[in-house]
Structure 1
Amino acid sequence: MSFNNVSFGSRSGWRYNWVGLENYQRILFEDVDFVIAAQNFFVSTLLYVPVIIALSVIIAVLLNQKIKGKSFFRLLFFLPVIIMSGELMENISSYGGMAISANRLLLDVIYTIIPSQNVVLWIVSLFELIVQLMWYSAVPILIFLAALQKVGKDMYEAASIDGASPWSAFWKITLPTIYPLVSVCVVFVVVFLANFELNPIIGIILESTYEGSRREGYASAISILYTFVQILLISILYYATRSRKISVR
């Protein structure tokens, strides 16, 4: 389909007109919406994934400790997985449920405490970014948490007897145990971010499908190019996580 201009008629059905690489040339050299969105996605994903993985490891380690209400906190962090898709997710985003800037009352309270508008906007943007990263960390947290629960307590007890601090135990026992799962989480996070309903590229593909000057052939070419972008991202991040070796000695 990506090498054709595709149209559909109620009587004639699907019609294909061979255009070769015309759709790809138009996407890469004429229309700029996909190229700009792909560049933004590539850079943001390279920055977000390490932060998401690090945040997931920290939260998983904390949830693995003996704390009161452990089951409640685990449910709290896994809750976004339940509502991250479908109509509920779309409505939450549409009505500003994921953005503090949409809540005027809360903004007024913050402005009362911090008069400087630039500082307030910076704090709000930072908090919204943290909320999004927490939202994306739900499944990696569960993966790391499952790995941590398989680590025997006798290993930590032996390390403590030998004089190892909790910080040393983390680097010598905890991290080497869960590190093989980092690559798995990297692949999941990249695919999740790429196919998230609020991703602008997904919107471009859907809009192109129904736009008269583009249609299905153009949208198919975008999808194929977007697939290569994802494969490149996964390859870079997967190699980066696999190339590092952690010794348990």
Structure 2
Amino acid sequence: MRQKRGLTGLCFISPWIVGFLAFVAYPLYKTIFMSFNNVYYGNKTGWEYEWIGLENFRRILLEDIDFVIEAQDFFLTTLLYVPVIIALSIIIAMLLNQKVKGTAFFRLLFFLPIIILNGELMKNMSEYGGMSINLNEMIVDGISMIVPNKSITMGIILIFNMIIQLLWYSAVPILIFLAALQKIDRSVYEASAIDGASSWSTFWKITLPNIYPLVSVVVIFIVVFLANFETNPINKIIMESKYDGSRREGYASALSILYSFLQVILISILYFITKSRKNSKEVS
């Protein structure tokens, strides 16, 4: 009976095993293998591999500077963006969790990026400049009338563009935190109100401890989302390297490996920070 149950469970997970081997394990192995080779394609011979060891990695890190510069920018930007996105997502999720008129409309407004995240619409927005916020000249002129200083005006526009981008990145984290907020028992809030707890104390003692375990999940999502976003220049470098005669697929594979390693480092750092904060809260 135990063997029969084991075979039944194996049959249930067999589609996942097949999918993992075909679409994750084998492509990963192929990418790692190609990163140590010069890869050529001949019409008669097909794919040819010339073993060069760590040459692609040495060239990326020591000779070509485009990836290194963009990787540094991505690393610093992500470290700055993640805490801001998490804080913004928690605030918006708490506002959307309130029972007020028009909540359904605002939820749809913030979840719109999830709907158009993939597909032809996303592709067309990226190609025709929809992913960059270009303010109308009337708005720019209006800001210039209020703030005559051109440098201050450009600073306001830059901040506005950054806020729009952060709201775009916050769509899924808002959804995650909103789901966690809706699972908190309302009687806990009622008991705290009876005891005279302020809104600030209620947030730190009830709301935040209940949604904090999901911060690690949100951290992983944000890093992966930012790394694979359409406008990320590193993805463009990798794609262009595939068709560059001086680089080809082996070089692009090495770029992918280094980029994945950078994402793992970022996730590990941010996960350690959130976990250490959680442990310090539990000790206190």
* One-letter code aligned to 1:24: F
- Report if the CA contact (8 A) 1:111-1:120 is conserved: yes
Per-residue deviation at 1:102? Answer: 5.4
Aligned twin of 1:210: 243
Identity of aligned residues (%): 67
Aligned to 2:265: 232
Which letter does structure 2 place at the counterpart of 1:223? S
Task: Say which structure is richer in helix.
Answer: 2
1:82 Cα offset (Å): 1.3
Deviation at 1:112, TM superposition (A): 2.8
SS in 2 for 1:243: helix
| Inter-partner Cα distance in structure 2 for 1:17 and 1:102 | 51
8 Å CA contact 1:2, 1:23 repeated in 2: yes
1:110 is displaced (CA, Å) by 2.3
Q: What do you get for the CA RMSD once the two structures are aligned? A: 1.6
TM-score of the aligned structures, taking structure 1 as reference length:
0.95
Aligned structure 1 segments of 4 or more residues deviating by more than 4 angstroms: none
Secondary structure of residue in 1 paired with 2:40? strand
TM-score (normalised: structure 2): 0.84
What are the residue-to-residue correspondences of 1:29-108 with 2, within 5 Å?
29-101=62-134, 103-108=136-141
Larger Rg: 2
Aligned residue number for residue 220 of structure 2: 187
Distance 1:62 1:122, change over 3 A: same
Contact 1:205–1:223 at 8 Å: present in 2 too? yes
The 3 A distance-change label for structure 1 pair 156 and 102 is closer
Query: Equivalent residue for 1:242?
Result: 275
Quote how far apart the aligned CAs of 1:88 are: 2.2
Give the number of equivalent residue pairs: 249
Question: Which structure 2 residues correspond to residues 67-216 of structure 1 after superposition, within 5 A?
Answer: 67-101=100-134, 103-216=136-249
Counterpart of 2:44 in structure 1 is 11
CA contact (8 A) 1:85 1:197 kept: no
CA contact 2:131–2:231 (8 Å) conserved in 1: no
